[in-house]
Amino acid sequence: MNKKIAVLPGDGIGREVAKGAVSVLQAVGERFGHQFSFTFAGIGGSAIQASGTPLPQETVEICRKSDAVLLGAVGGPKWDHLPGHLRPEKGLLGIRKELNLYANLRPVHYYSSISETSPLRKEVIEGADMLVVRELTGGLYFGKPSGRSRKNGEDSVVDTLFYKKEEMDRVIRLAFRLAEKRRGKVTSVDKANVLESSRMWRETAEEIGREFPHVKLEHMLVDNAAMQMIKAPRQFDVIVTENMFGDILSDEASVLTGSLGMLPSASLSENGPYLYEPIHGSAPDIEGKDTANPIAMILSAAMMLRISFGMEEEAKAIENAVKQVLDAGCRTVDIVPFGRRPIGTAEMIEEIKATILDNEAIL
Ligand code: NAD
Ligand code: IPM
Ligand code: MN
């Protein structure tokens, strides 16, 4: 197959891990006889530097003309002084909105070979496997009005949590469809004891739940969910929640896998193209040190192969290569047990690539 992929490396370690995903995809192309063509485009701080805006129009057009989009990460201290509408993060929010990527799928898979890097005991996390479905184009991130006011000497701010029922409906419905193919349970997370938006969310989840009698629906308040995820993570199958709760809970969930550097994601729309990105950020604290874990980004590329291109075998090849490399003891510093030598970002990428190219037992 021939596929056009837009690559938006962004900033910090986003650039280091995006490079890794591209080279792993080249290995997949070589092994399976596919032609992947990559078009690189700017986003975030590096785009501000190059063209004065975090989301150049050209980037949006390149994404629209592609079969799928891969994104590294955006942001960094260099741009933290800028006003909200000019920050790197605005580029990321902008591309999500432009491509109407309303559902962000964040699978949390536990690898037994790195169980010792999780702060939780093995008995607690063993077998945990959940999917966080995060609403991605609504809620506090996009509600208007938003901003700062200094009228009449006042110093006040406003962020608006706004949702239309249809925005809730489509993402919750998707969560139910995904749960049907998994273990048949949806946990809808909200703050219905306080927020009007959450009461509508809960009502919508109830309505959709009636259309899926074989899926068990449970409601959980977000503060309790944050606690339950650490206390008893195996209880969760699909979690569906609004934008900001999903952002926070998925970083928390990444700890179950051992590191934030392990968690991929897929952002879906009605008609595509879809966007794939790790859930972590640009990690300025480790930028340029060749210590970032590229696995979250590489697993995002696997999600792209499966979801956007229907390449199940190829996606499995990447996932199996990651598993084999971890089983063989290769570790970046974020997942290395005490006393063992870590390998660098580039070496981890090479190990995964070599496994895809050379290992007969990859499929
Ligand atoms: P972060 O996710 O960048 O980093 C949090 C911590 O996790 C850091 O200690 C970092 O070193 C570590 N970490 C993250 N990814 C890692 C990886 N692949 N391997 C090893 N360690 C990893 O979050 P932050 O520090 O709160 O934010 C830094 C910048 O990134 C901010 O500008 C923020 O806005 C941005 N950000 C961007 C995205 C995105 O582009 N999707 C996501 C989150 C944060
Ligand atoms: C993420 C990030 C972004 C978000 C930021 C950088 C806008 O934290 O992708 O999880 O909050 O959505
Ligand atoms: Mn986040």
pLDDT at 361: 65
pLDDT at 154: 74
| CA of 176 relative to ligand 3 center, distance in Å | 23
Is ligand 1 within 6 A of the CB of residue 197?
A: no
- The DSSP string of 315-358 is HHHHHHHHHHHHHTT---GGGPPTTSPP--HHHHHHHHHHHHHH
| CA of 213 relative to ligand 2 center, distance in Å | 34
Buried b (16+ CB within 10 A) or exposed e, 257-279: bbbbbbbbbbbbbeebbbbbbbb
Is ligand 2 within 6 A of the CB of residue 89?
A: yes
Quick: pLDDT tens for 57-75. Answer: 999 999 999 999 999 999 9
Active site residues: 141, 191, 223, 247, 251
Q: Which amino acid is present at 51?
A: S
56 alpha carbon, distance to own chain's centre: 22
Class of residue 306 by CB neighbours under 10 A (exposed 0-12, middle 13-18, buried 19+): middle
Question: Which of 252, 254, 260 should be mutated for ligand 1, with most atoms under 8 A from CB?
Answer: 260
pLDDT at 319: 97
Is ligand 1 within 6 A of the CB of residue 298?
A: no
| CA of 32 relative to ligand 3 center, distance in Å | 34
Question: Which of 13, 93, 132, 265 should be mutated for ligand 2, with most atoms under 8 A from CB?
Answer: 93
Class of residue 148 by CB neighbours under 10 A (exposed 0-12, middle 13-18, buried 19+): exposed
Could you tell me the domains of the chain? 1-107+260-363 (3.40.718.10), 119-132+148-257 (3.40.718.10)
- The DSSP string of 47-102 is HHHHHSSSS-HHHHHHHHTSSEEEEEE---GGGTTS-GGGSHHHHHHHHHHHTT--
Is ligand 1 within 6 A of the CB of residue 281?
A: yes
| CA of 35 relative to ligand 1 center, distance in Å | 32
| CA of 291 relative to ligand 2 center, distance in Å | 21
User: Do residues 259 and 283 touch, judged by C-beta distance below 8 A?
Assistant: no
At 208 the three-state DSSP class reads helix
User: Do residues 354 and 347 touch, judged by C-beta distance below 8 A?
Assistant: no
- Assign residue 317 a region: left if phi > 0, alpha if psi is -120 to 50, beta otherwise? alpha
Residue set of the binding site for NAD(+): 76-89, 281-293
Q: Considering every ligand atom shown, identify the ligand nearest to the alpha carbon of residue 244 and give its number.
A: 2
Tokens of 127: 């077998």
pLDDT at 363: 64
Q: Considering every ligand atom shown, identify the ligand nearest to the alpha carbon of residue 8 and give its number.
A: 1
Q: Enumerate residues 6+ apart whose C-beta is below 8 A from 168.
A: 135, 200, 201, 204, 205, 242
Q: Whose CA is nearest to atom 5 of ligand 2?
A: 89
Is ligand 2 within 6 A of the CB of residue 247?
A: yes
Q: Which amino acid is present at 36?
A: F
Q: Considering every ligand atom shown, identify the ligand nearest to the alpha carbon of residue 104 and give its number.
A: 2
pTM above 0.90, yes or no: yes
Is ligand 2 within 6 A of the CB of residue 92?
A: yes
151 alpha carbon, distance to own chain's centre: 39
Is ligand 2 within 6 A of the CB of residue 253?
A: no
At 281 the three-state DSSP class reads coil
Name the stretches of the chain with pLDDT < 70. 152, 361-363
Quick: pLDDT tens for 1-16. Answer: 999 999 999 999 999 9
